[in-house]
């Protein structure tokens, strides 16, 4: 009778399929509780997947944070480089203006000198 119940349930080891009164003694732990063991195993696998997913999310967040920090540093570096380029450009412009001023001053001095020479050479009335 017990072996028919076990066969109908689908569980049990080969030993439990034998006829006799000692069928229940030979029923393995898995055959009696295979449904619960399967559910617990599935839940354990889901828990492991959830933990791995959580770790993966933390990893992704940390990677994104690191990328964001590096990007911010890069932006600051780019701004700093642009500032240095702007300072160099301003210095270059000031230097060019200074050179033009020097040339203009030299030119004015030259013009004054030429006028002075002409005034000295030309006979006075």
Half-sphere exposure of 27 (CA within 13 A, CB side): 19
* Domain span at 39: 2-121
pLDDT for 1? 47
Domains contained in the chain, number = 1
pTM: 0.34
Per-residue pLDDT tens digits for 12-29: 445 545 555 555 544 555
- List, for the chain, all residue ranges whose pLDDT scores fall below the cut of 50: 1-2, 4-5, 10-13, 16, 25-26
pLDDT for 124? 62
Cβ atoms of 11 and 34 within 8 Å: the answer is yes
pLDDT for 43? 85
């Amino acid at each position: 009778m017990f072996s028919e119940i076990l066969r109908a349930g689908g569980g049990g080891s080969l030993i439990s399929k034998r006829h006799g009164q000692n069928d229940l003694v030979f029923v393995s732990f898995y055959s009696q509780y295979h449904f619960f063991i399967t559910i617990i195993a599935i839940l354990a696998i889901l828990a492991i997947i959830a933990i791995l997913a959580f770790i993966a999310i933390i990893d992704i967040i940390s990677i994104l944070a690191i990328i964001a920090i590096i990007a911010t540093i890069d932006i600051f570096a780019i701004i700093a480089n642009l500032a240095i380029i702007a300072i160099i450009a301003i210095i270059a412009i000031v230097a060019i203006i200074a050179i033009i001023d020097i040339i203009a001053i030299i030119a004015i001095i030259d013009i004054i000198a030429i006028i002075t020479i002409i005034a000295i050479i030309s006979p006075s009335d």
